[in-house]
Amino acid sequence: MPRTGKCPNYANCLLAYRNENIAIADGAPFVCPECKQPLAEEDDDGAHKPMDTSIMMIGGISLFVIIGAAIVFFVVRNSREQQPSRQANMPSFAPAAVATPQSVQGDLTPSSQTTPVADTPTPEPSAMPVATPIPAEAPAATASPSAPVEAGVQAQTPNLDLQDSQNQRVKSDVLKRIDLMPTISAEDKDKLYISVERARQMGKVLTIPFASGRTNLNDSDVGQLRTALAAPALQPLLKDPTCVFVILGFADLKGDEKTNLRISTDRAESVLKTLEHLGVLNVLHAVGMGGSTLFGDEHDAERNRVVEVWAVLP
């Protein structure tokens, strides 16, 4: 009777892999005809029976799971060991954020001590605004009667600051005088009033003196006025088409009020025509201010016989 068995050589034998029953004739060697390995009989107690394929697959999967878990364990452990070292190398800003005044004062270095000095809000005397020369015009308007009279046309460095007390006073006087001007149309009066009222900058740029009783400029005055217009300080205003020049005529108080108003108006008109003749293209307005003590009292008459040209920037 032939013997039946199975080949246990699953790694190198196709018959074992297929789990096939192999019949061996009586008297023949009880080995696998393919790999020549001894066969396990079917009726064995199980010690020599081949391992079931499903059991081997489960075992292989379990082995892979164990190996994967071990790899994950070692990776996590290494990352935890490296994290403190990375944190130690990272810069910390906490001391600067929570530093107290006492600690800052104790830790200052010579280079850091210069920072508060640079940030101090008190300006240096040499760093004061350039506006300090502006009040220098005030003495010319408020000088005492004993001050000498400067002859000839004079050009002033424009002080266009409307916060200046003299500029505010003149602006107020001009607005009052515009309302009383009988020789100007209502439309032109409104334009002039709006220009002065809404001005963002306003200041005196020229002063032209007049002799007693005179209302016109002579050749010498015209030459001086031409020279004054060439002053560098006036060029930006002359080139600005939005700049309006208001020409204020003044008279002394020796005559009656009506005569003084006419004389002051004639003087302002004479300067306006001369400026047009000299090529000034800006809008020009002549305003007679009448008799005045703006530049001194009634005993200082010649200081009040002048025409002033004021720049008005809307």
| The residue count for the chain | 314
Q: In the chain, which stretches have pLDDT less than 50?
A: 44-50, 91-150
Measured CA to CA, the distance from residue 169 to residue 212 in angstroms comes to 26
Predicted pLDDT at 34: 85
Distance of CA 3 to the CA centre of its chain: 103
Handedness of CA 50, 51, 54, 56 (dihedral sign): negative
Measured CA to CA, the distance from residue 291 to residue 269 in angstroms comes to 16
- What letter would DSSP give residue 109? -
Measured CA to CA, the distance from residue 34 to residue 159 in angstroms comes to 119
Predicted pLDDT at 16: 80
Predicted pLDDT at 282: 94
Predicted pLDDT at 128: 38
Q: Which domains does the chain have, with CATH numbers?
A: 135-313 (3.30.1330.60)
